[in-house]
């Protein structure tokens, strides 16, 4: 059952595609910057260590963004499949406010809260 109108789905698709394009552009800039900086010769070991630390941080950020790109593609597929906005846990409607804030979400606020509550328990093995 489709929860949103075609106009609303189009809005979410544009939002997701814009976010995806921004992430791809940022990843390209990071790669270019790292390549240019790597060609620099570091006379001071502290400068090299600082560059390596910064590069490691940037790569961790890009890895999180890569995972977000996968979630964006999955959200676009849910739009195509006409199931966008449906909680994958309970099947209820995810609020439009929640989807605007995080369009890749697959859980309604109640199911997400329950999931986080379980994860915070000492013996949780998710």
Residue 82 lies in a domain: yes
Q: Please tell me the total count of domains within the chain.
A: 1
Distance CA 16, CA 76 (A): 7
pLDDT tens digits, 68-79:
999 999 999 999
CB 12 within 8 A of CB 103: yes
CB 90 within 8 A of CB 111: yes
pLDDT of residue 70: 96
Distance CA 86, CA 126 (A): 22
56 falls in which pLDDT band (50, 70, 90)? confident
Residue 101 lies in a domain: yes
Residue 57 lies in a domain: yes
Share the mean pLDDT of the chain: 87
Domain interval for residue 55: 6-119
Residue 126 lies in a domain: no
Residue 1 lies in a domain: no
Residue 10 lies in a domain: yes
Residue 35 lies in a domain: yes
CATH number at residue 76: 1.20.120.910
**77 strand-pairing partners:** none
Residue 124 lies in a domain: no
Name residues whose C-beta falls within 8 Å of residue 76's C-beta, 6 or more positions apart in sequence: 13, 16, 17
Query: Does residue 114 have a pLDDT over 70?
Result: yes
pLDDT of residue 61: 84
């Amino acid at each position: 059952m489709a929860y949103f109108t075609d106009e609303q789905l189009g809005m979410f698709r544009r939002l997701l595609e814009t976010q995806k394009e921004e992430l791809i552009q940022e990843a390209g800039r990071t790669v270019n910057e790292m390549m240019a900086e790597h060609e620099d010769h570091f006379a001071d070991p502290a400068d090299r260590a600082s560059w390596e630390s910064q590069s490691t941080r940037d790569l961790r950020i890009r890895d999180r963004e890569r995972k977000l790109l996968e979630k964006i593609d999955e959200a676009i597929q849910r739009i195509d499949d006409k199931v966008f906005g449906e909680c994958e846990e309970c099947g209820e409607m995810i609020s439009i406010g929640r989807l605007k804030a995080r369009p890749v979400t697959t859980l309604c606020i109640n199911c997400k809260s329950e999931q986080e509550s379980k994860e915070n328990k000492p013996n949780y093995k998710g």
